[in-house]
Structure 1
Amino acid sequence: MKPAAAAPGVVAVAYSGGRDSTALLFATLRVAHALGLRVVALHIHHGLQAKADDWLRHCRKQCDAWKRQGWPVTLAWTRLHLHLTAGDSVEAVARRARYQALRRLALEHGAHTVLLGHHRTDQAETFLLQALRGGGVAGLAGMPVTATREGVAWLRPWRNRPRSDIEAYVVQHGLAYVDDESNADDRFARNLLRQQVWPALVGAFPQAEAALADAAAWAGEASACLEALATLDLASLDDGLGLDVQACRRLGTARGRNALRVWIRRMSGHRPSASLLERLWQESAGVSARRWDWAKGELRLYRGRLSWVGRVVAAASEARALPATHLSLKGGGIVAVPGWGGALRVERVREGGVAWERLRRVELRGRQGGEQFQSGHGRPPRALKKQFQAAAVPAWQRQGPLVYDAAGHLLFVPGLGMDARAWATPGRPQWRLLWEPLA
């Protein structure tokens, strides 16, 4: 999806209603009020807790109270409907869905920056948990201060501040917040660490929090170096037909596995486990064809080339083999697309969309080769492969149908968004499409 142009002076804050996010939203509003900025408070209703409705009411009440005081805040919220399958981690699924929803809400309100309330204690805890799980340097690096993904900058302005500073700030300003009772449930690893391990650790080593956060920072630098090395290696290992496994092995175990690890993450969207890497490294030696289940899809080795195919594409035996599908999107909302393994979401936008009449009858096609896409006005149309590469769109986000209007003009490409040649003129009502594959 091509993000909409950022509205001037708009910043978003992830706001659960808890202590940390309440403190961050309050601090942001104080600065925004002085600078003439607008703030969008983003609340995600997970539907996993009995008191989730109460938390939403609290957030509404608090934002309304601040707005009556003349502070520039707007509350935007959405309810998640999680789709879990056997073996899924509720925490992991909810986390992925939460970030996707935060991104969507932020872009809808013209904000391309989202502030998150994580602090130094969170970072130190993450380092410990990753170490106890046998995580590599990417996991040990924890949460970055800033990261840009899919048109949104995620910032953690308090990542280097201890929890005690936030607690003192809340008391100083008399801020009201909600308590998530699940934080006391020691069936979750982080809660167990906080309640039983952390007090003893900092009691014996008072500087543990700062030291662990420093270690995470070192791991972050090491991870960045490994990512850069993998990028150099993959330039010659993957020619678009798949990863040359034997050439990868010739780099040596450490360097070759690093390239393989990064390649799998980029293709599937999931960081591979140590056990998967070990299996691939051992089982691909001297073998020309093999398959491994991974990330709701398959890693396929054929004639020395490794590729990753998502479940939807695997089941459909390649989208380009499907016949063209005709349908109308005039009803808007979410439109299921039988046979393609997903649905199209139709959303109204201020810019970067197409006129309504072009969606009355559309045609869905698989990639045939030779298609071109224009990413913005003043930019030349380029082959889809080059556009995907330029936008760093991983293979797992490219799956889905191309959408054409009744006249055969390309409107939408999954992973890239609406073709600029089809954009409606400014000020005219317009809509954009999003592709939502089945989980």
Structure 2
Amino acid sequence: MPAAVAVAASGGRDSTALLHATARAARDLGLEVHALHVHHGLVASADIWLAQLRAQCARWARAGLPIHFHATRLEGAPARGESVEAWARRERYAALAGMAKAAGCDVVLLAQHRRDQAETLLLQALRGGGAEALAAMPRRAERDGLVWARPWLERPREDIEAYLRRHRLRWVDDESNDDEAFARNRLRRQVWPALLAAFPDAEQQLAASARRAAEAATALQSLAEAGLAALADDGVLDVAGWSQLPRPQQAPVLRRWLQTVIAQPVPESLVRRLADELPTVGHARWPAPGGELRLHDARLSYAVPQAAATLAPEPLALDLSSPGVVELPAWGGALEVQAVGEGGVSPSWLRAAELRPRRGGESFQVAPRATPRALKKQYQARRVAAWDRAGPLVFSGEQLVFVPGLGIDARCRAAAGEAQLALAWRPA
């Protein structure tokens, strides 16, 4: 059992009731309670809420409740195109996590109740959410090294209001709750009264639907994880194997793979587009959050493209005859030199190496008895994707020694038993 527990406290009716109830229970259990308040700086009265909540916690502490008060004011503002709601939610949770850890708490209690859950499900449904979104808010979740718990998620709001009356508690009202520019406020003020009038048990039934959606989302995720385990390797998806999955499993597996490689929310429109187009194309690119998706040779990968250079880098003379990594910012990557037992090039070829951009007319020999062919034809024959052809060509005099995506030219390979080096191009 933790020695301390944190409660997210806005000063509104729900969090006031939860904070008071938690402190009363903690007193009997010998626990400390830390009230965590986030000042969003979005409304003029936020300073008043902060002062009132601090004073209230001080009164309760003097009355023998084990409460400690903490507050953080958010800095910054939403990014261009980002909603105030999304920004405030993200920053609020980050601030709560920071205060909880500083206070030595590993559990944070949140005051959402059954009507909040029902509203969240409706909002997610109106946004076209799937099972994971319709699951709404979890009763318990582990994130940022903390346990986030909603002990009242299945309790009606009427129970909370009865608690407030019984203990004669005071709270602050957020005037932004009247602003119908926010979707949740429109739902509460315009839709919810009519919904309850037509369906009196709507709250209970919607909350029950959220529970079932959570169960379905968990099952779908387990199924997707099992399918993905056999199809993904080092961040690359085997599209040929994915295409053999039963059709209903393809989108969940694809969605899960995208979530693992893209560190941003994945638009459902991208999942649907890929599900439709992947079986019909051989080589393609798709824009994705923070980068792009690349399909080549039935393998799908995600990459963050480097900014295109306006001019090709100038030729560069280097000594590459010793193992190591040579950073090449102008080329957008690094050359790695490694000692190998076979298939490499003699160090003598690399003592006076020169890095050059591709100009056209270069030829490459893939095997000792093969005919040298133009780079373009070698790339096509070996099915090297266009994005894997970037990087410098390594010459020794006028002899091409190394080509990114193709390797060491056979005319330069070292004899068996001779000291030799391998080269590899590593894009940034």
Q: TM-score, normalised by structure 2?
A: 0.68
Q: Name the residue aligned to 1:248.
A: 242
Superposition misfits of 4+ residues, deviation over 6 angstroms: 321-324
Q: Could you list the per-position Cα deviations for residues 36-94 of structure 1 after superposition, in whole angstroms to 9, with x for gaps in the alignment? A: 10011111111122222221111211111111112111112212224433321221122
Q: Name the residue aligned to 2:146.
A: 152
Structure 1 pair 178–79 and aligned structure 2 pair: CA distance change class (3 A): same
CA contact (8 A) 1:316 1:322 kept: no
Query: How many residues are treated as equivalent by the alignment?
Result: 314
> 2: distance between equivalents of 1:258 and 1:23?
40
Q: Name the residue aligned to 1:142.
A: 136
Higher deviation after alignment, 199-208 or 28-37: 199-208
> 2: distance between equivalents of 1:33 and 1:70?
8
RMSD: 2.5
Matches of residues 127-276 of structure 1 in structure 2 within 5 Å? 127-276=121-270
What's the CA shift for 1:28?
A: 0.2
> 1: distance between equivalents of 2:100 and 2:292?
33
Structure 1 pair 316–113 and aligned structure 2 pair: CA distance change class (3 A): farther
What's the CA shift for 1:314?
A: 5.4
Higher deviation after alignment, 132-141 or 272-281: 272-281
- Residue identity in the other structure for 1:226: L
Q: Name the residue aligned to 2:405.
A: none
Q: Sequence identity, in percent?
A: 51
3-state secondary structure, aligned to 1:290: strand
What's the CA shift for 1:236?
A: 1.1
Structure 1 pair 59–309 and aligned structure 2 pair: CA distance change class (3 A): farther
Greater RCO (Cα-Cα under 8 Å, separation 6 or more): 1
CA contact (8 A) 2:270 2:288 kept: no
Pairing 1:22–2:16 present: yes
| Larger-gyration structure (1/2) | 2
> 1: distance between equivalents of 2:215 and 2:108?
23
- Residue identity in the other structure for 2:223: L
Structure 1 pair 304–24 and aligned structure 2 pair: CA distance change class (3 A): same
> 1: distance between equivalents of 2:296 and 2:41?
44
Q: Name the residue aligned to 2:276.
A: 282
Q: Could you list the per-position Cα deviations for residues 267-323 of structure 1 after superposition, in whole angstroms to 9, with x for gaps in the alignment? A: 3344433212122223333232413131x444444444334456xx85699xxx996
Structure 1 pair 102–303 and aligned structure 2 pair: CA distance change class (3 A): farther
Q: Could you list the per-position Cα deviations for residues 172-211 of structure 1 after superposition, in whole angstroms to 9, with x for gaps in the alignment? A: 1111111111111112111111111111111111111101
Q: Could you list the per-position Cα deviations for residues 397-430 of structure 1 after superposition, in whole angstroms to 9, with x for gaps in the alignment? A: xxxxxxxxxxxxxxxxxxxxxxxxxxxxxxxxxx
3-state secondary structure, aligned to 1:130: helix
CA contact (8 A) 1:82 1:97 kept: no
Q: TM-score, normalised by structure 1?
A: 0.67
CA contact (8 A) 1:264 1:271 kept: no
Higher deviation after alignment, 91-100 or 113-122: 91-100
> 2: distance between equivalents of 1:147 and 1:316?
42
> 2: distance between equivalents of 1:308 and 1:84?
27
Q: Name the residue aligned to 2:50.
A: 56
> 2: distance between equivalents of 1:315 and 1:181?
46
Match of 1:291 among 280, 286, 293: 286
What's the CA shift for 1:132?
A: 1.6
3-state secondary structure, aligned to 1:284: helix
What's the CA shift for 1:249?
A: 2.5
- Residue identity in the other structure for 1:18: G
CA contact (8 A) 1:245 1:304 kept: yes
Match of 2:101 among 98, 107, 129: 107
CA contact (8 A) 2:235 2:261 kept: no
- Residue identity in the other structure for 1:53: D
Which consecutive unaligned segments of at least 5 residues does structure 2 have?
Answer: 310-324, 329-333, 337-428
3-state secondary structure, aligned to 1:187: coil
Match of 2:60 among 41, 46, 66: 66
Q: Could you list the per-position Cα deviations for residues 325-378 of structure 1 after superposition, in whole angstroms to 9, with x for gaps in the alignment? A: xxxxxxxxxxxxxxxxxxxxxxxxxxxxxxxxxxxxxxxxx9x9xxxxxxxxxx
- Residue identity in the other structure for 1:144: P
CA contact (8 A) 2:121 2:135 kept: yes
> 2: distance between equivalents of 1:96 and 1:287?
39
> 1: distance between equivalents of 2:308 and 2:326?
8
CA contact (8 A) 1:289 1:304 kept: no
Structure 1 pair 309–260 and aligned structure 2 pair: CA distance change class (3 A): same
> 2: distance between equivalents of 1:104 and 1:298?
33
Which consecutive unaligned segments of at least 5 residues does structure 1 have?
Answer: 1-5, 325-365, 369-439
Q: Could you list the per-position Cα deviations for residues 131-165 of structure 1 after superposition, in whole angstroms to 9, with x for gaps in the alignment? A: 12211011111111111123211100000001111
> 1: distance between equivalents of 2:306 and 2:122?
38
Q: Name the residue aligned to 2:29.
A: 35
Q: Could you list the per-position Cα deviations for residues 212-268 of structure 1 after superposition, in whole angstroms to 9, with x for gaps in the alignment? A: 111111111000000101111111121114222332232133211101112222333
3-state secondary structure, aligned to 2:48: helix
